[in-house]
Amino acid sequence: MVHPEPVPMYLRAAFCLVLLLMLVSAVAAPLPNQSPDRTEGTVNCASSTCHGSITPLEGSDVLQNEYTTWLRLDRHTQAYAVLLNERSRSIAHKLGLKTPAHTTQLCLDCHSHAPPPSRRGKRHVLTEGVGCEGCHGPAEKWLAGHAEEGASHARNLSQGLYPTERPAAQARLCLSCHFGDDSRFVSHRLMGAGHPRLSFEVKTFTSLEPAHFRIDADYRKRKGNPEALKVWAVGQAVAVTHLLETLTDPKRGRQGPFPELVLFDCYSCHHPMSEKRWSPRLGVGPGALRLNDSNLLMLRAIVRAVLPGQSASFDAEVHALHLAVATGEAPPGMDYLDLARALTQRIKDLIPALERQHYGPEVMRRVLVALVEESRQSSFTDYAGAEQAYMAITSLVNDLVPRSVAVDKAALRGAMSRLLDVLADDEHYQPAVFQAALEDLRGLLHAPAP
Ligand code: HEC
Ligand code: HEC
Ligand code: HEC
Ligand code: HEC
């Protein structure tokens, strides 16, 4: 009888690691508001020897003044307070809420960290707004051990720390409040009552939020290199999946006989009839409702720059969805919902490739060229698309310019501020002026012609 060779120890260990990695990547971590664990309260993080130091501590992996930065500078500390202001009172009144905004779960879902009461520890308070555990996940299982000798990031993650350092997970977290998901959402009804339009881009907003972490050699060793363009690209893909999943969700996709209106370009309805602003766009004819495709346009540019082999078929799928939404035309046996579901799956399959990609200066240039090309196809005729393009271009220019010596910085500032000027008035946005400024910018950066 032949005995099988025993599998060497190192291979078995490696195989276990593969299994573990597959598990970690296959099962998306629950968002902080949906975690089964108990939230312990920001006060637990605030001691000066933990995260409440006044200045960054030398010789520590992390800054340890995260709480101080958050408390003094981060707008998330105000998220609850805005529920007490006049605008919130008016929103609550117009919606006919039975309780004031600051005690209504609908509002607290995003303006605080408000898990179900059974999962709130004694020291957790709602009034602090979006605190540490609202992003890093309830600390029940990792609080005691995460600063011990022998603690590791992997162990913290297995104990419920949310993986904020992974681009797709971070995007899902931010977008769950800054766009909404199946657990919280700002519908057109809320906007009609006066809630501001939500406009978001992960990379830009991460830079806007005063950073309580420092990306240095030690950070990269522990968590990898968070390339700015990767955070942007993955963020766009995740944003599109949020939009399409809302469109196809029978609970949220409709409002009476109409689809949920926040999924469409606001200004396709909200402008005076005397302003004849229609122009040909992505094959959608006049008088039709246009999907808010601002993130889809970014994603088209990303696919063209990063995965050129997939670009033609991706564009075709996007185009088919647009047509189906605007006119009802779809391939036999399908409707716009089938097309939206297929596109969602395709984008989910793309995300790992976007996460693996290295985004060096050459890729940055290609993305910039692809964005200019989008504008030549008159894609940025809607304000929201132009706004997304501007946020992308700002990040690209900030990252590219230090590397390209030859650029005329004064002229570049001029072109950037012209772009911004066009966006100052969302209700009277002029696409042609935006495109002209974009062409100037491309010339300045010597991007090769597409
Ligand atoms: C899906 C998440 C979500 C829900 C639900 C939500 N909001 Fe908001 N709200 C936000 C975000 C995100 C912002 C910040 C927008 C920005 O600045 O980009 C905001 C902004 C606001 C503002 C403007 C804040 C300011 O600084 O001027 C008010 C007022 C407001 N919300 C009130 C409410 C009220 C009242 C409710 C409940 C009826 C509510 N919100 C429900 C996410 C949400
Ligand atoms: C709006 C979401 C948000 C809130 C609120 C928030 N963080 Fe963070 N935090 C992040 C993100 C994003 C990162 C960067 C990605 C990463 O390293 O995980 C980060 C990174 C960190 C890091 C890791 C730094 C490193 O070098 O590894 C620590 C420590 C931290 N935060 C502590 C805190 C504490 C303490 C609070 C509360 C006072 C807090 N955070 C509140 C989103 C948030
Ligand atoms: C639990 C919900 C929630 C999560 C998660 C969240 N935010 Fe926010 N965020 C808000 C709310 C609500 C506001 C508005 C606060 C206000 O108006 O004072 C806000 C405001 C902001 C602002 C200030 C915007 C402005 O107009 O000045 C930035 C920047 C921001 N968030 C970035 C992020 C980033 C980046 C992430 C993900 C790492 C994130 N947020 C995750 C709810 C959230
Ligand atoms: C399909 C058309 C359509 C789209 C798309 C649409 N809206 Fe509306 N909106 C309406 C209608 C209809 C009303 C109700 C007007 C009324 O009561 O006079 C309304 C009302 C509003 C109001 C209240 C205006 C008032 O006079 O009180 C706001 C604010 C608003 N919408 C914002 C938005 C935002 C922001 C978006 C995009 C995210 C958007 N709308 C997308 C059709 C639309």
pLDDT in tens, 143-199: 999 988 888 899 999 999 999 999 999 999 999 999 999 999 999 999 999 999 999
Q: 201 to each of 23, 154, 257, 291, 437, how far by Cα in Å? A: 29, 28, 31, 18, 21
Whether the pLDDT of residue 94 is over 90: the answer is yes
Whether the pLDDT of residue 294 is over 70: the answer is yes
Confidence of residue 372 (pLDDT cuts 50, 70, 90): confident
Share of the chain above pLDDT 70, in %: 92
* Sign of the C-alpha dihedral computed for residues 337, 339, 345 and 351 taken in this order: negative
Q: Six-digit token pair at 339?
A: 């097309």
The alpha carbons of the chain give a radius of gyration, in whole angstroms, of 24
Do the beta carbons of residue 89 and residue 101 sit within 8 Å?
yes
User: Same structural domain for residues 52 and 148?
Assistant: yes
Which residues is 255 bridged to in the sheet?
258
User: Same structural domain for residues 47 and 159?
Assistant: yes
156 assigned to some structural domain: yes
Confidence of residue 446 (pLDDT cuts 50, 70, 90): low
pLDDT at 22: 41
249 assigned to some structural domain: yes
Q: What is the mean pLDDT of residues 369-396?
A: 88
* Type and span of the H or E element at 233: helix 228-248
Residue where a domain terminates, one of 128, 163, 198: 163
The phi, psi pair for 117, rounded to 5°, reads -50, -35
CA of 175 to the centre of ligand 1 (A): 13
**Between helices 228-248 and 383-400, what is the axis angle to 10°?**
160
Host domain of residue 271: 230-379
Query: Which residue type sits at 426?
Result: D
Q: Distance (Å, rounded) from C-alpha 177 to C-alpha 156?
A: 24
240 assigned to some structural domain: yes
* Type and span of the H or E element at 185: strand 184-185
Q: What is the mean pLDDT of residues 379-393?
A: 90
User: Same structural domain for residues 157 and 283?
Assistant: no
Confidence of residue 26 (pLDDT cuts 50, 70, 90): very low
Picking from 160, 292, 311, 173, the residue whose alpha carbon sits closest to that of residue 238 is 173
Q: Distance (Å, rounded) from C-alpha 376 to C-alpha 372?
A: 6
Residues 74-89 pLDDT 10s: 999 999 999 999 999 9
Picking from 106, 259, 240, the residue whose alpha carbon sits closest to that of residue 186 is 106
97 assigned to some structural domain: yes
418 assigned to some structural domain: no
Q: Which of 90, 188, 429 to mutate to test the pocket of ligand 4 (most atoms within 8 A of CB)?
A: 188
Whether the pLDDT of residue 442 is over 90: the answer is no
405 assigned to some structural domain: no
DSSP 379: -
Q: Six-digit token pair at 296?
A: 């889809």
186 assigned to some structural domain: no
User: What are the pocket residues of ligand 1 if the criterion is a CB atom closer than 6 Å to any ligand atom?
Assistant: 82-83, 87-88, 91-92, 95, 101, 106-107, 109-111, 177-178, 180, 184-186, 190, 195-196, 198
Picking from 31, 40, 134, 35, the residue whose alpha carbon sits closest to that of residue 80 is 134
Total number of domains in the chain: 2
Do the beta carbons of residue 66 and residue 145 sit within 8 Å?
no
What is the pLDDT of the chain when averaged over all its residues? 89
422 assigned to some structural domain: no
User: Same structural domain for residues 357 and 244?
Assistant: yes
Confidence of residue 310 (pLDDT cuts 50, 70, 90): very high
Do the beta carbons of residue 285 and residue 246 sit within 8 Å?
no
Residue where a domain terminates, one of 379, 406, 433: 379
Residue where a domain terminates, one of 113, 130, 163: 163
Picking from 267, 266, 285, 283, the residue whose alpha carbon sits closest to that of residue 275 is 267
Q: Distance (Å, rounded) from C-alpha 404 to C-alpha 116?
A: 51
Confidence of residue 41 (pLDDT cuts 50, 70, 90): very high
Task: Decide which of 148 and 3 is more confident.
Answer: 148
Task: Decide which of 259 and 73 is more confident.
Answer: 73
Decide whether any atom of ligand 2 lies within 6 Å of the 166 Cβ. no
Whose C-alpha lies nearest to ligand 2, atom 13?
164
User: Same structural domain for residues 252 and 375?
Assistant: yes
Residues with Cβ within 8 Å of residue 49, at least 6 apart in sequence? 64
pLDDT at 447: 52
Residues 214-226 pLDDT 10s: 999 989 988 888 8
